[in-house]
Structure formats: C-alpha cells, structure tokens
Amino acid sequence: MTLTQLVDSLVTTAQVGSLYALMAVGLTLTMAVVKLPNFAHAELITFGAYTALVVSLFVTTNPLFAIGLAFPASALLAWAIHRLVYRPLVRQKSTTYVLILSSFAVGLIVRYTLFLLADRYDLFDKRIQIPLQVLVAIGPLRLTNIFVWVTLSSIILVILLTLLLNFTSLGRQMRALADNDTLARVLGVPVDRVTDLTWVLVGGMAGVAGALWGLYTFVDPLVGWLILLPVFAAAVLGGMRSFAGTILGAYIVAFGENTVMLLLNQTFGLDFSFKPAIPFVIIILVLLIRPQGFGGIGRSATEGGNA
C-alpha cells in the first residue's frame, strides 16, 4: 500500500465520517425523542439531495443556495410524514414493529416516487456541480474545496445541534421528552410542538446531509437507502442515545469502510465488493456484544438517566 492510498483513505474517512455523523445524530434524535427507529430517514436524505440537485441544475449553481433549500424541503417532508403517518399510529398505541413497518412503507413511497420522476426527467446519477479546486496539496495530502465544504458544514451543523440541545429551552424540552415523556407532559412541556419541531430539525439536517452527499458523489433515488445502514451502524455504536457516542461511531464506521477496507484488501486480498458488509458486521457485533454502544461516554445531549 502506498502512502498516497493511505492518506487518501483517511481523507475520505474524515469526509464521509462527518456526513455520517450529521445523518446519524438526526437518527439518534428521532430514536431518543420520538422513540421511533425511522427507516424513512434514508428518504429524507435522498429528498434533500434531489432538491439540491434540481436547484443546482435549473435555478442557480451557487452551492450555498442549493444546500440551503434542501433544509426546508426535507423538513417539510419529515413534518408531513409525522403528521400523516406516525402521529396517528402512535395515538393508536401501535407497537414499535408497526411503526418500523410503517417507516419502511413511507420510505418506499418516497423512494419510488423519486424513481418515477427521476426516470421521467432523466435525473439518475447526476452530480451537484461545483467547479473542483485543489486547495491544499502537501506531499500525498490533497484537499479539495468539496472536502472543505462537506466536512466543515457537517461539523458546524452537528455543533449547532449540540448547542441547541444543551443551551436552549427547546433543547431542554427535547431532552426531557427523551428521558421520560410522561413526566415531561406532566411538567407542562408542549409535547406536540416539541415533537413537531424535532421532526423539522431532523428532516432539515437529513436534507442538508443529502445535499452535501450530492456534492461529494452522485445522486440517485437509492442514495439514502444505501447510506442508511452505515448511518444506523453509527447510531447503534452510539447506543441510540448518546450524541458523542454517535459522532464517534460515525467516524469509526467511515474508518472501517475506507481505511480498514483498504488494509484488508491489501493484506488479505479481500475484494472491495465486500465493503458494504462492514457496517452490517458492526451492527451485529455491537448489538450482540455491547448493545449500549458508547452510550456511557460523554453525558451530553439526549443521554438519559438509565442509559
């Protein structure tokens, strides 16, 4: 293995890991606050990616504008899904399995609607175009403007979300809901409003993550579904509650998919087609060996009392 390959894989790890972190904190937030393993999170990501793509193809090529519009688009979608599907089901006292199934179903509807439209208007495998510039080139290290855009935006958004959770009254209310929703209700937390806002926030972040993913690589109706399971692996590593654990988990998953995969390929000749299996193996191992993940570390964000 050459040094360039190693450095390259580490750069990819940083970039993909930041994106996974941005996607996974949203997933963790839904699981903690709304108590729903939302498989339609994938489609919130895809929808954001397509919004950004359409904006960049037909309206303006300014990436800030495209990424900015992905937020309200996916936020609206998430809120609508919550109101139309999840809330009525939760009010019927549905089991978690019913909610998971319905999230699969919602995801399918959005995904294949996008397929229909993408097929009609020929929007497969397109890329959100911004001119590529190499900003840093020191020896084997090459950083492009896309790397800076993607990584910095993801990190800033994750930091903003953490600040919001820890230092605003909305964040306090969300954490109260995550901890004990009955108690939160009794203490006068406006549960409906907080849940609505959680969905808006989660959807918006997923949308931005999708748009950034579209900057980094191609946009396709399956894009969210294909990255959902690494993202789930990151959330599982975070014990599905801890923010710090989830972020750490995201970088570990990205490291496994890129650097470890490269090492396995170079030393054992493992084919790169096995790469998608890595996050699944992480999910299975973590759930079997240490189901709380890194839930114990960094008592930040939505960390609950008994987690």
Partner 1 sequence: MILDPIGTLISLLTSFGVAAMIALSLNLEYGLGGIPNFGKALFVSIGAYTAGVTYTRLLPLLAGQAAPYPCGAGMSQALQVRTEIMRTLPAVGLTNFLMTLVIAAFIGGIVGYLASYPALRLKDEWFLGLVLLASSEVVRIVVRGAEPVICAHNGLSGLSQPFVFLPTAQLRAAAFAGMTLLAAALCYWFAQRVARSPYGRMLKAMRENSDVASGLGKPMARTRASVMVIGSAMAAVAGVFFVTNIGFASANDYVVGLTLDIWVMIVLGGLGNMRGALLGAAIITLLDRATAIAAIQANMLGSQFDFNYARYILFALILLVMLRYRRQGLLPEQLDTTGAGKFLTKLRRQDVASQKATVNRHA
Q: Which residues bind partner 1 (CB under 8 A)?
A: 37, 85, 88-89, 92, 94, 96-98, 100-102, 104-106, 108-109, 111-113, 115-116, 119-120, 229, 232, 236, 271, 273-274, 276-277, 280-281, 283-284, 287-288, 291-292
Question: Are 202 and 30 in contact, with CB atoms under 8 Å apart?
Answer: yes
Which one, 101 or 130, has the nearer CB to partner 1?
101
* Residue 70 CB, nearest approach to partner 1 (Å): 23
Q: DSSP secondary-structure letter at 142?
A: E
Kindly state the smallest distance separating residue 221's Cβ from partner 1, in Å.
9
In the structure encoding, which two tokens stand for residue 205, read together? 């972040």
| Nearest residue (CB) to partner 1, 120 versus 131 | 120
Name, in order, each residue with C-beta under 8 angstroms of 201's C-beta and a sequence gap of 6 or more: 26, 29, 75, 161, 164
Q: How far is the CB of 233 from partner 1 (least distance, A)?
A: 8
Closest approach of partner 1 to the CB of residue 287, in Å: 5
Question: Please, which residue, 3 or 112, has the CB nearer to partner 1?
Answer: 112
Nearer to partner 1, 169 or 273 (CB): 273
**Residue pair 212/19 in contact by the 8 Å Cβ criterion:** yes
In this complex, which beta carbon is closest to partner 1, that of residue 189 or of residue 283?
283
Q: What's the min distance (Å) between Cβ of 137 and partner 1? A: 35
Helix axes 169-179, 191-216, angle to 10 degrees: 100
Residue 127, classified by CB atoms within 10 Å of its CB into exposed (0-12), middle (13-18) or buried (19+), is middle
CB closer to partner 1, 84 vs 159: 84
State residue 4 phi and psi, 5-degree precision: -60, -45
Closest CB 178 distance from partner 1, rounded Å: 15
The counts of H helices and E strands in the chain are 13, 2
Contacts of 139 (CB under 8 A, 6+ apart): none
